[in-house]
Chains A and B, each alone.
Chain A
Amino acid sequence: MVTDIGGVNDKSFNQSAWEGLKKLEGNGVTVKYLQSKSDADYIPNMNTFVKDNYDLVWGIGFLMGDQLKTVATQNPNSKFAIIDNVVDAKNVESVTFAENEGSFLAGVVAGLMTKTNKIGFVGGVDIPVIKRFDLGFEAGVKAVNPNATITKNYTGAFDKPDLGKAAAATMYNAGVDIIFHASGATGNGVFNEAKDRVKAGKKVWVIGVDKDQSLEYGDDVTLTSMVKRVDEAVIRVTKDVINGQFKGGTTQVLGLKEDGVGLPDTSKKNVPADILAKVDDYKKKIISGEIKVPTAQ
C-alpha cells in the first residue's frame, strides 16, 4: 500500500489501513507499505509495487485518485484498490463509506445529550462526502430531538485550524454545547477551543471524525467520534484478492451493515448506557432499511 505524507502512524487513514493489512500477514501473504514524501511520490511508489509484482496495490485516500488512475491504466494487468474515492477503471476496486449512516448515530447522541438544544456542525469543504456527514447528522438529531437547532459552518478548508477555532468559538458563544466536525486538520482548532472552555469550567463537547479522536484529545472534550473503519475496508478487498474473488471496476459502499462506519467503544465513557441503547436501536433500523438516511451525491 502507498501512504500519503502522513505515514503509517498518522493516527488516521494510513495507520488504520496498515493495521488492517498487517492482520492479513502470514500464510504466504506479504504486505508492505511505501510512504510518500509529497504528491509527486504517489506514482513512483505505486509503480514500484507493480514492478515487484504485488497482487494488489492500495492507494490510501481521496487525494491519490488521479495518480492511481494513471498507473492503473498503464498497467491493466495489475490490481489496484483505493479508499474514499471512485476510480473508474476495470482493474481498480473503489471503496467508499456511507458517512451519512454513521453520522446519523452521532446525531442521535448529540440530539439526546445537548442541554441547550443548540448543536453545531463544522465542515471542511462543501463537497459531497462532507455533505453526507452533514445531512446524516442533521437527520439523526432531528429524529430524537426535533426542537434542536443545528448551526452549520463550512470553513472552506481541511487544513486551517485557525478557521476551525474561530468557527467553534462563535458557535460556543452562541450557546451551542456540542459540535460535530468533519473537517480534517481544521478540526484541531475546534478541539483546541473546546479544551480551552472545558479548562475554564464550561461543559462543551466535540464529536470527532474518521477515527476515535478521544484517544488524541481526551475524554473530557470528545463526546464520541464518527469512525470510518478503513482497516475493515482494506481487509475486505484484500481478502477478495487472496481468495481470487477480486471484482475490479466496481465500488463498494461500506455502511453500518458492513461495519464500515460507526461509533467507537470508548463512547460509553461519556454517553450514558440508555442513550447508547437508543443508538443501537437506530442502527438496527437503518440496517433493516426501516430508516432511510438522507445522502448527497
Chain B
Amino acid sequence: MNFLDQFADLINITLVFATALLFGALGGIVSERSGVTNIAIEGLMTAGAFASAVATYYMEQADLSGPAPWVGLVAAAALGMVFALIHAVASITFKADQVISGVVINFLAAGFTVYLVKLLFQGAGQTETLNAVFSKWAIPGLSQIPFFGPAIFTAYPTTYIVIILVFVVYYVLFKTPFGLRLRSVGEHPSAADTAGIRVLRIRYIAVLLSGAFAGLGGATITLTTTSNFSHNSISGQGFIALAAVIFGKWNPLGALGATLFFGFAQALNNWIQLFPWSKNIPQEFLFMLPYVLTLLMLAGAVGKARMPSALGEPYDPGKR
C-alpha cells in the first residue's frame, strides 16, 4: 500500500472521528455567540444519542429500517432541544448561573437517559444493538477521484451534513441580519436592546439551536460508531467539542479546523501503532499525542482567542 492511499485512509478516519465533535462544537458556537455559556454540550449529546438509539430501534421494530436512522436524527435534534430549553429557561429567563445550569443538564441527561433505557429495555443498561445504522456513502463520480474519493467522498451521511452545516452556520452568523443580531446580543446586549433587538428571544433561539446541533452530534455517535446507547456512549466528546469552540475562536470554520486537527491526531495515534517500532514508545505517550498536539497548536499557532464580551452574563434590562 503506497503512502498516498494510507494518507487517504487517515483523512477518512479523521472525518469519522471529527463529525460528532464538530456537531457539538457548532452547538457551542451558536449558543456562546449569543452570550450564553453552554458547557451542557456533553449532556445535550447524551440526550441526542439516547433519542436516536430509541427512535431507530422502534422504527426497526416497525419494519421501517430504511428511514430509521433518519428518524433517529430528527428525534436526537428534538430531544436535544428539549434539554436545551431547560438550560434556556434557567439561565435566560431566571438568570441562573449559566455554568451551574450547564452542569445540571449534564448530570440530568446522564441520569435520565440511563433511567429511561432501563425502563424501556427491561432493566438492561443499554439499548438493543441497532441494525439500521448509517453506512458510508460513496458519492457517485466523486468517489472515483484518486485520493479525494477514498479520503473525502466515501463518508457517513452525517459527515456530509455537518460539513454543509458548518458553512450554513458561518453564513448565517456573519452574513445575515439574524447573525448580526445574534452576535450583537452576545457582545453588548443592552446596546442591542436599545437598537430594538429582542435579546431574550434571540438567546432562546440560539440555545435551542445549540441543543439541536449537539443532539445530532450524539446521534452521530450511536448511528455511526456504537450501534447502541449505553451510559458510556458519550464519554467526554462534549467537552472536547467545547475545547474546539475555543480553539476555533468561536468561528465555525475555526471549529472545523480544530476538530479535524484533533481527529487527525487521533487517527495518527492509531496509524503509528501499525508499525513494529511503535512498541518502543511508552503507550502513555501515544495516548497523550492528540492532546499534546492540540495544546501545542493552541499555544503556538492559534494566537489569542477572544470570547464574546457578554458571555456568561444573564441579560437584565433593568441593570445599568
Contact = CB atoms under 8 A, between A and B. Distances in A.
Interface of A: 5-11, 35, 126, 151-154, 156-157, 159-163, 165-167, 169-171, 173-175, 185, 188-189, 191-192, 195-196, 199-200, 216-218
Contact of B124 (A10, A188, A218): A10
B194 interface: no
Given A170-B271, A192-B133, A9 B283 contact: no
Interface in B203-237: 221, 224-228, 230-233, 235, 237
Contacts of B231: 5
Given A6-B125, A11-B124, A166-B13, A200 B135 contact: yes
B124 A7 contact: yes
Contact of B16 (A35, A165, A174): A165
A156 B273 contact: no
Contacts of B267: 166, 170
Interchain residue pairs A-B with the least CB separation, the first 6: A159-B232, A6-B125, A170-B270, A173-B9, A161-B226, A156-B287
Contacts of A163: 266
9 contacts: A5-B125, A157-B235, A162-B20, A165-B16, A169-B13, A173-B13, A189-B225, A189-B226, A192-B225
B79 to A, nearest CB: 20
Contacts of B1: 174-175
A170 B9 contact: yes
B93 interface: no
A175 B9 CA distance: 12
Interface in B29-63: none
Contacts of A165: 16, 225
Contacts of A169: 9, 12-13, 16, 270
Which residue among A154, A162, A188 has the maximum number of chain B CB atoms within 10 Å of its CB?
A162
A161 B114 CA distance: 17
Contacts of A35: 123
Nearest to B156: A196
B201 interface: no
Contacts of A189: 225-226
A6 B273 contact: no
Contacts of A191: 227
B274 interface: yes
Given A166-B266, A171-B274, A7 B227 contact: no
B2 interface: no
A199 B224 CA distance: 13
B236 to A, nearest CB: 8
Contacts of B221: 161-162
A171 B274 CA distance: 7
Nearest to B271: A170
Nearest to A5: B125
Interface residues of B, number: 41
Given A5-B125, A188-B225, 4 more contacts: A153-B270, A156-B283, A162-B20, A173-B13
A192 B270 CA distance: 17
B176 interface: no
A160 B234 CA distance: 8
Contacts of B129: 216-217
A192 B226 contact: yes
B273 A151 contact: yes
A234 to B, nearest CB: 19
Contacts of A175: 1
B122 A9 contact: yes
A176 to B, nearest CB: 9
A126 B131 CA distance: 31
B160 to A, nearest CB: 16
Given A9-B124, A152-B273, A161 B13 contact: no
B270 A167 contact: yes
A8 B123 contact: yes
A8 B135 CA distance: 32
A88 to B, nearest CB: 28
Nearest to A176: B274
B126 interface: yes
Contacts of B124: 6-7, 9-11
B118 interface: yes
B239 to A, nearest CB: 13
A214 B118 CA distance: 23
B118 A196 contact: no
A154 B283 contact: yes
Nearest to B267: A166
A192 B274 contact: no
Contact of A188 (B12, B16, B227): B227
Instruction: From B135, B274, B287, name the one whose CB has the most chain A CB atoms within 10 angstroms.
Output: B274
A195 B133 CA distance: 10
A165 B271 CA distance: 13
B33 to A, nearest CB: 27
Nearest to A165: B225
Nearest to A170: B270
Contacts of B118: 7
Contact of A195 (B6, B227, B237, B283): B227
A218 B16 CA distance: 23
Contacts of A170: 9, 13, 267, 270-271, 273-274
B17 interface: yes
A219 to B, nearest CB: 13
Nearest to A218: B131
